[in-house]
Amino acid sequence: MFTFESYANPEWFWAFLVIPGLLIAYYFKELYDHVSFKYSSSKGFGKTSALAYLRHIPFAFLVIAVSSFIIALARPQDAKSWEETKTQGIDMVIAMDISSSMNAPDFKPNRLEASKKIAAEFINLRPNDRFGLVVFAAESFTQCPLTIDHNRITELFDDVRMGILEDGTAIGSGLATSVKRLKDSDAKSKVIVLLTDGENNAGSISPKTAAELASTFDIKVYTIGIGKENFQYQQGPYIYKTKIDNAALNDIAEITKGRYYRAQTSNALKNIYEEIDKLEKTELASLKYYKKTELFLPFILLGILLLSIGKTLELTVFKTIE
């Protein structure tokens, strides 16, 4: 069923006004072509053939044919539209501290496991972005290069554990390795989320130098200090005390135009990731396409067919009918 908007030239519908004129003309033609006579008796006259009542069929076909031609001139169209959404995703690296202090129980079950869980949830909320994973202790390495396969990177989070690297906290090295993974990216936005609970005490690269390197490649760094201030806990016969270098983490964020956050609870860490999610929105560009298919041809063919059939009947079957 076509709507009024489905026609390219709807002004042609005014031509339907000729149809009443055709009907009136045909009525008077029939009136004057058949003169009546009076007889005293109808004896001797045959009954009117049933075909005589069908003699109007060619005219009916003519009316329908003219209507079909008018519709064809109005150019009926089937309009289809669809929308194509293109995404300009963000390339993001999670740089995670896996030093022994991440075993502190102020997060349940510990800082590392809580951080892994919340980071994986964050990744799964951003299906259009590529993610990479860098881990660091006294040294750093890439656990997963940039990938759009979020299932793969969340699986690799499960393999992250303390003790796979020499103990220590090389914040500068972890940041530099993350920069290396992002520097050649063509993404419109490049982001590092660096999470640590300590002070830089290992590695050959200072946090400030690594931050300046990130800034050179237009990489924004969000730093997160995880754990309660000066938290102290006992593990076996030993007592451990953690201290976060808030000043260094804040400097990294300022140099790279990012932000520094403190997370002293799991809920606070989750809220930080939610805020980063809002700050780093993936850009969506929508393009709308329209396709119109001309449907006038069937109406032209119908009109020609009806005219042909009507004329054929008029010259054959109804030719001798009075």
Residue/partner pairs of 116-122 with CB below 8 Å, 24 or more apart: 116/157, 116/158, 116/160, 118/266, 118/269, 118/270, 118/273, 119/94, 119/157, 119/193, 119/195, 119/273, 120/154, 120/157, 121/270, 121/273, 122/273, 122/276, 122/277
Give the per-residue pLDDT at 1. Answer: 46
The predicted model scores a pTM of 0.63
Give the per-residue pLDDT at 289. Answer: 57
Q: What backbone phi and psi angles, to 5 degrees, belong to 302?
A: -65, -45
Give the domain ranges of the chain.
Answer: 4-76+295-315, 86-285
Give the per-residue pLDDT at 320. Answer: 61
For 192-225, the pLDDT digits (tens) are 999 999 899 999 999 999 999 999 999 999 999 9
- In the structure, what pLDDT confidence band is assigned to residue 81 with cuts at 50, 70 and 90? low
For 12-52, the pLDDT digits (tens) are 989 899 899 888 888 888 777 655 555 555 555 455 556 66
Pick the CATH number of 86-285 from 3.40.50.410, 3.40.50.150, 3.40.50.2300, 3.50.50.60: 3.40.50.410
For 104-118, the pLDDT digits (tens) are 999 999 999 999 999
Give the per-residue pLDDT at 4. Answer: 47
